[in-house]
Chains A and B, each alone.
Chain A
């Protein structure tokens, strides 16, 4: 299996010069390996040779006809985006954790640059998110200039009187 994986790396040009040199030396001495390389290459070339149809001449017009009939797309409001995403369990879990963290932090929430809202995420309360959920959170953070703090500054110890 490793040999076969090396074939892919070789065919895709993903070997360094030394590794490539070693592989080609092995290729020269191994008819089996050479046959594997040749058949892999041939299978890919057959796939590449499959004919494709050209798009219908009026496809662009059809697309643009549909697009022009649509209202101008607008950036969804934060609430709209959240209400859609809150149907997803991982996002619900994330939002729940955030709520708890924010409630616990209370007075530790501080105003960010330009009085934008600040979301403080407690590093100790991690929620496992899928890629798309993470992407969504990142989108929100970037779209609305919300500042994310990965760890919460600890509350200063109460002074002893």
Chain B
């Protein structure tokens, strides 16, 4: 069993290069969750699902699963390890099941993606709070993991550029994880959606159902806390 680590640049930034198509003739949106260049829109797929076409839902899952999985990992906040990846996978599954069950109540006032983010954020907060009551032991990427079936290695990407290169330092990587982890769930949700996943202030406001001013304020406090936590490491590289 191997979990691959994606370089974040390839995990969250749309490349526009994927040409894999599915049975609907649409491109998979990959990690970006961008709408396909052609093929059925989210709304068309939702209509098919509502009329009983479960296969159409699989297409929606493939379109948004990488984005939801990435969001869940970031919101749960711990360093990648087998335990945390399984937890992220479980939660991603929970999100899509919940969305499927509530799909009849979805209306296109908000984009499907925003609605999906709302469900994901709510479930992440629930899980995070539950997890705080039952601490999970995070394991380092640097050491192989002992499992029942033997030793398992986690693949670390080939870092090429700043500041990814600097994050080869296990200490710094731990600190950056820690900086994200110590944020309150409200601050973390905003900084993850805006700074890591590229949602606009307005989209974040809609996904979290908070006023625009609250988004700005939370982003301000989240960045300030992040900077304070990472202060000893800032100014040492050439980002």
Chain A residues with a Cβ under 8 A of chain B: 4-5, 8, 12, 14, 35, 38-56, 59-60, 62-64, 66-68, 70, 72-76, 131-132, 135, 139, 142-143
A63 and B167: CB pair below 8 A?
no
- Given A51-B7, A52-B6, A53-B3, the answer on whether A59 and B223 have CB atoms closer than 8 Å is no
- Ranked 4 nearest A-B pairs via Cβ: A75-B104, A49-B164, A55-B69, A54-B4
The answer to whether residues A47 and B180 also contact, given A52-B11, A73-B101 and a CB cut-off of 8 A, is yes
> Is the pair B11, A8 in contact by a Cβ cutoff of 8 Å?
no
Contact A59 B65 (CB under 8 A): yes
**Cα distance, A38 to B70, chains bound together (Å):** 27
Q: List 8 A-B contacts (CB under 8 A).
A: A40-B223, A44-B223, A48-B195, A51-B5, A52-B70, A64-B58, A131-B209, A139-B105
- Alpha-carbon distance between A100 and B189 when the two chains are bound, in angstroms: 41
Residues on B with beta carbons closer than 8 Å to the beta carbon of A41: 239
Distance (Å) between the CB of A134 and the closest chain B CB?
A: 10
* A73 B100 Cβ-Cβ under 8 A: yes
Helix, strand, loop or mixed for chain B's interface? Answer: helix
Q: Interface majority SS on A: helix, strand, loop or mixed?
A: helix
Smallest CB–CB gap between B217 and chain A, Å?
9
B61 lies within 8 A of chain A by Cβ: yes
CB neighbours (8 Å) of A56 from chain B are 3, 85, 89
Contacts of B209 in A (CB 8 A): 131-132, 135
B234 touches A39 (CB 8 A): yes
**Closest chain B CB from A153 CB (angstroms):** 29
Q: A residues within 8 A CB of B105?
A: 75-76, 139, 143
0/1 string, B4-29, CB within 8 A of A gives 1: 11111001100000000000000000
On whether the beta carbons of A49 and B167 are closer than 8 Å, the reply is yes
Q: Are B73 and A60 in contact (CB under 8 A)?
A: no
Interface residues in B134-174 by Cβ distance below 8 A to A read 141, 154, 156-157, 162-164, 166-167, 172-173
Of A4, A50, A72, the residue contacting B173 (CB under 8 A) is: A50
Instruction: Name the contact of A139 in the complex, choosing from B92, B107, B219 (C-beta under 8 A).
Output: B107
Contact of A43 among B12, B141, B230 (CB under 8 A): B230
Instruction: Note all chain A residues with C-beta closer than 8 A to B182.
Output: none
Q: A40-B223, A51-B6, A53-B80 are in contact. Are A46 and B104 (CB under 8 A)?
A: no
Which positions 175-203 of chain B face chain A at CB distance < 8 Å?
176-177, 179-180, 191, 194-196, 201
Q: In the assembled complex, which residues on chain B have CB atoms less than 8 Å from the CB atom of A42?
A: 163, 234-235, 237, 239
Q: How far is the CB of A36 from chain B (nearest CB, A)?
A: 9
A131 CA to B205 CA in the complex, in Å? 12
- CB closest chain-A residue, reference B236: A42
Q: Which residue of A lies closest to B4 (CB)?
A: A54
Cα-based distance from A76 to B104 in the complex (angstroms): 8
Q: Which residue of A lies closest to B208 (CB)?
A: A131
Is B4 touching A53 in the complex (CB atoms < 8 A)? yes
In the complex, chain B residues whose CB is within 8 Å of the CB of A62: 89, 93
Partner of B89, one of A38, A43, A59: A59
Instruction: Kindly provide the distance from the CB of B59 to the nearest chain A CB, expressed in whole angstroms.
Output: 10
* Structural contact, B195 and A60, CB atoms closer than 8 A: no
CA distance A43 to B183 in the complex (A): 14
* Minimum C-beta distance from B87 to chain A (A): 11
